Amino acid sequence: MWLPRHDPIKNVLYIDLTLKKFWVEDRSDLFEEYMGGTGVAIKLLEEEIPRNADPLGPDNVIVFAIGPFNGVYPAASKTVAMFKSPHTGNLGESHAGGRSSIAIRLAGYGAIVIKGTSSLPIWVSIRGKNVVFNDARALWGMRSSYTVGRIIRENEPNPGFRTIMRIGRAGEKLITYAGVITETYRHFGRLGLGAVFGSKKLKALVVSGRGSIPISNKREYRKIYKELYDTMVKSPVMKKYHDIGTPVNVLRLNEIGALPTKNLKATKFENADILSGENLAKGYLARRMACSHCPVACIHLAALREPYVDEPFFYKTTFVSYDYEPIFALGSMLGAKSVDGFLKLLDMIETYGLDAMSSGVVLAWITEAFERGLIGEKELLGEKPKWGDHETYMRIIDKLVEQPNDFYKAIGKGCAYASRIYGGEDFALTFGGNEMPGYHTGPAAPYSFMVGARHSHLDSAGYSLDEKTIGKELTEEEIVDKLLEEERWRQVLTSLVVCLFARGVYKPEIIVDAFKAFGLTVKVDDLYELGKKIHMEKYKFKIREGFDLDKYKFPKRIFETPTPHGYLSEEKLVKMKRIFKEKIINEIKPIS
């Protein structure tokens, strides 16, 4: 139903790192039924990973999947990565832009499956139909992920259209919230894909291609393309992403009292003005960039200028890409006092290849645990964290990556794990085992982090529902239904695979029209059915791997700090969880 004729997207490339072998299979069956992206990835994951596999063992599998719109329509610029998460122990899913999706498309694949474990560090190059296994021993242990990217870039022949995905030292050290960096400024950030790369001794994956994509109805294609393009660049739908970018949220959330501050002890941040998108744009913005085939260019790079110690009039300039989420996690959550301090910390996190969101929430937990005497200088090896002290936070990050003692090993597994050992679970801000995103907007946000398949604000955007309903009270059933509908719809968008920032452009009717360019007739109802099916498949996988919603409690802190909807009611959130369980999980149980 969803597979364009003669489209090489049906080809899945399998790579076995243990045997250093690769082969291609025609998986028209999967692309016909599940479209691509998230839909195809979850089925490949289910096929390839044995039950209860160790996420950091050779049985774990990494799937990269793209969809029929990648390389064809604007802002269809994302790649879906799926794996078993070492951070939560169940479904790992992370999306990134850069050049990854177009490179995979032009290399002639719809998905790449990476199995097994290499005995020595390697980097793997997919050059169209060929796959090369390169010795990466000289790159292993290198401090900067930027340098690794540069060396690979200069040593890879025949660039074609290319992506370079790589890990930093955090991934090598199996920090469970290490990410994978692609094209320097984009990331598969959440849920520990970097640690899975590290466990497989896979330092980098390079994909380059020179292929093309068949379009059967060019007249229809030009028409739809123009409509999509014009909506993106000429209407206000995506303007905010280009102008100030997601950091536009800082002042807005602060104003309504929803910006998590100092480990969510507050939701108003005294330095919000300093770290606001507006201030960063005025004083630091060096340039904007775009993922391939996206006219929006929402990637904002700040220029961080640091004088050399011996040459005060000479500056080292580093470009640091910033978004709202790192500003929340490494800014307001840590009580940041200056833009320079925030950017230095963020740059270090990038250098090591850590997930900025989890790192910030872990540092915030450490600061409060230290204040309360649950941990001391003995555990922290002499460090005394305090709000806004980015120099100390940078030294803690250095030690986190070095893993010199049991405490640093524990925080390398996230704050849910560390708080079980050292105490402080009430203020360890995790949901389903994953550290919180930057929204304390009302009841829908924490509920969505808890039940969303990847425990992310991007699953169903509960924060957005909260913001739209300030001053009103939705019933538990209404919140559950609205967010379920949204999460199911997002499975369609992430199977195409379009950027979720373009969700206001890719409405059901235009997606139906866009399929006409491939000579395919689909109906709006088919899209909704597909979204529902993929969401169920994801939950089936989670439950197969032992996910039990009843085991996870909402951290007490979220009930102690007011939201724009007032203080949250634990009873209400628990009831919403129960309704979700009845609607989704109980339906799956007999199948699993």
479-508 residues in contact with ligand SF4 (CB under 6 A) are 499, 501
The rounded distance, in Å, linking the Cα atoms of 464 and 260 is 15
- For tokens 């997002």, what's the residue? 490
The rounded distance, in Å, linking the Cα atoms of 79 and 469 is 32
CB closer to ligand SF4 out of 241 and 322: 241
Q: Considering the rule CB under 6 A, would residue 77 count as an interface residue with ligand SF4? A: yes
- Calculate the alpha carbon distances from 222 to 78, 184, 194, 388, 502 in Å: 22, 32, 39, 52, 19
In whole angstroms, the minimum distance from the beta carbon of 71 to ligand SF4 comes to: 13
Binding to ligand SF4 by CB under 6 A, coded x per residue (else -) over 360-379, reads --------------------
Residues 6 or more apart whose Cβ sits within 8 Å of residue 562: 257, 267
Two structure tokens written together for 403: 């893993």
In whole angstroms, the minimum distance from the beta carbon of 498 to ligand SF4 comes to: 8
11-40 residues in contact with ligand SF4 (CB under 6 A) are none
Q: Which strands form 315-322's sheet, in the order they lie side by side?
A: 285-289, 299-307, 315-322
In whole angstroms, the minimum distance from the beta carbon of 322 to ligand SF4 comes to: 13
CB closer to ligand SF4 out of 75 and 514: 75
Q: How many residues form the binding site for ligand SF4 (CB under 6 A)?
A: 13
Q: How far apart are the first and last CA of the chain?
A: 27
By CB under 6 A, name the one of 9, 13, 75, 558 that touches ligand SF4. Answer: 75
In whole angstroms, the minimum distance from the beta carbon of 361 to ligand SF4 comes to: 22
286-305 residues in contact with ligand SF4 (CB under 6 A) are 290-291, 294, 296-299
78-137 residues in contact with ligand SF4 (CB under 6 A) are 97
The rounded distance, in Å, linking the Cα atoms of 149 and 369 is 36
Q: What's the alpha-carbon Rg for the chain, to the nearest Å? A: 23
Binding to ligand SF4 by CB under 6 A, coded x per residue (else -) over 204-233, reads ------------------------------
Binding to ligand SF4 by CB under 6 A, coded x per residue (else -) over 443-482, reads ----------------------------------------
In whole angstroms, the minimum distance from the beta carbon of 75 to ligand SF4 comes to: 5
Q: Where are the alpha helices (DSSP H) in 235-307?
A: 239-243, 249-256, 277-283
CB closer to ligand SF4 out of 167 and 298: 298
Report the SS3 class of residue 475. Answer: coil
In whole angstroms, the minimum distance from the beta carbon of 224 to ligand SF4 comes to: 18
CB closer to ligand SF4 out of 31 and 241: 241
Of 346, 351, 378, nearest in space to 363 by CA = 346
CB closer to ligand SF4 out of 118 and 491: 491
CB closer to ligand SF4 out of 24 and 297: 297
Of 430, 482, 479, 431, nearest in space to 452 by CA = 431
In whole angstroms, the minimum distance from the beta carbon of 128 to ligand SF4 comes to: 24
In whole angstroms, the minimum distance from the beta carbon of 444 to ligand SF4 comes to: 24
Q: Strands 79-84 and 91-96: what pairing?
A: antiparallel
236-265 residues in contact with ligand SF4 (CB under 6 A) are 241
Query: CA geometry: angle at 421 spanning 419 and 426, to 5°?
Result: 30
Q: Which amino acid is at 145?
A: S
The rounded distance, in Å, linking the Cα atoms of 382 and 69 is 52
CB closer to ligand SF4 out of 501 and 515: 501
The rounded distance, in Å, linking the Cα atoms of 420 and 194 is 24
In the complex, the residues that contact ligand SF4 under the rule CB under 6 A are 75, 77, 97, 241, 290-291, 294, 296-299, 499, 501
